[in-house]
């Protein structure tokens, strides 16, 4: 009887152990799936920072909006997120431009005599290393979504214009984002500059120095190792910056950074928070009139 009870106990124990291991593995798998599918929360216009922090205004002695610096250029830096056709998703639609609108905007700018450059080009121009034409424009794409590879890259190659895409390394290889091999591929194109956008797309304003330093520095190191090219440009997630973030961007070795502060005048003094504009659905004469303004309202 004792042996039978021992066997029954062992069988029961094995079943309990099997169930426990199964539950543990299922939980681990669930966490893995959640982590892999993790993405940036969909944001409305109100989530983007459109005002220069007070600490930066005090330090630099400047005001919001177009500035009167000694060395300045009127250069629109366009901010894009999704370039795709979206239905039944109001949150995502706010950050989306359909491919045919992007094509029309590029052709409008080309017809108006604009030259498409990257932030790297702009820094070389501002520092006097190169001389660029008078009418310049920069196309920037945040986050590294899959549609940059499937739609935008195809359009840029067809139109033969330059652009920069800001990558979040820890979001690569997940649903809706590019794969690592695709980033490596586009980095080889002379039309594309790769920029960093932190490791995890975090809000940098007001966080600890150690956390901010990791997000800013490590994203540059990770992308440099990935594409085997210098990573000189940075984008603040949500445009959230402060004096600490700006200092860490400089210390990490970047030469420039973009904000979400609306404006069109770029200069040496604001090279670590270059102003950007969202062109929306404007094309043709409407887009040209939009760029002729002196002041720009937040989206």
CA 73 to chain centre: 23
Domain at 42-291, CATH homologous superfamily: Glycoside hydrolase/deacetylase (3.20.20.370)
Query: Which residues does 136 contact at the CB level (< 8 Å), separation at least 6?
Result: 73, 75, 114, 115, 116, 117, 122, 125
Q: Residue 7: its pLDDT value, please?
A: 57
Q: Residue 243: its pLDDT value, please?
A: 95
Contact 55, 118 (CB under 8 A): no
Q: Residue 105: its pLDDT value, please?
A: 98
Rounded CA separation 119/209 (Å): 26
Q: Residue 14: its pLDDT value, please?
A: 61
Q: Residue 185: its pLDDT value, please?
A: 98
Place of tokens 């090219």: 229
DSSP state for residue 252 in the 8-state scheme = T
Q: Residue 17: its pLDDT value, please?
A: 63
Tell me the domain boundaries of the chain: 1-37, 42-291
Q: Residue 23: its pLDDT value, please?
A: 45
What region, left, alpha or beta, does residue 236 occupy, with left being phi > 0 and alpha being psi -120 to 50 degrees? beta
What are the pLDDT tens digits along the chain (299 aa)? 555 555 555 565 566 465 554 544 444 334 333 344 445 554 444 468 888 887 787 655 444 444 444 568 899 999 999 999 887 777 777 889 999 999 999 999 999 999 999 999 999 998 889 899 999 999 999 999 999 999 999 999 999 999 999 999 999 999 999 999 999 999 999 999 999 999 999 999 999 999 999 999 999 999 999 999 999 999 999 999 999 999 999 999 999 999 999 999 999 899 999 999 999 999 999 999 999 998 898 76
């Amino acid at each position: 009887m004792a042996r039978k009870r021992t066997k029954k106990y062992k069988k029961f124990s094995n079943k309990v152990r099997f169930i426990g291991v199964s539950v543990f593995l299922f939980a681990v798998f669930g966490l893995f799936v959640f982590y892999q599918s993790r993405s940036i929360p969909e944001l409305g216009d109100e989530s983007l920072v459109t005002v220069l922090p007070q600490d930066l205004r005090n330090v630099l002695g400047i005001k919001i909006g177009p500035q009167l610096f000694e060395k300045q250029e009127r250069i629109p830096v366009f901010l894009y997120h999704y370039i795709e056709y979206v239905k039944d998703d109001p949150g995502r639609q706010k950050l989306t431009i359909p491919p045919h609108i992007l094509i029309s905007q590029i052709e409008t700018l080309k017809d108006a005599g604009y030259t498409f450059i990257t932030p790297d080009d702009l820094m070389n121009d501002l520092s006097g290393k190169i001389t660029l034409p008078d009418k310049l424009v920069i196309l920037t794409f945040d986050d590294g979504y899959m549609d940059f590879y499937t739609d935008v890259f195809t359009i840029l190659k067809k139109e033969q214009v330059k652009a920069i895409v800001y990558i979040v390394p820890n979001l690569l290889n997940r649903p809706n984002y590019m794969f690592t091999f695709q980033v490596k591929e586009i980095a080889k194109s002379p039309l594309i500059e790769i920029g960093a956008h932190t490791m995890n797309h975090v809000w940098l304003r007001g966080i600890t120095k150690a956390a901010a330093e990791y997000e800013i520095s490590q994203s540059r190191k990770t992308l440099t190792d990935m594409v085997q090219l210098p990573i000189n440009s940075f984008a603040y997630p949500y445009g959230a910056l402060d004096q600490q973030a700006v200092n860490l961007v400089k210390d990490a070795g970047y030469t420039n950074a973009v904000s979400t502060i609306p404006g069109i005048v770029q200069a040496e003094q604001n090279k670590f928070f270059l102003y950007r504009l969202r062109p929306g659905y404007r094309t043709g004469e409407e887009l040209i009139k939009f760029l002729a303004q002196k002041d720009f309202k937040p989206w």
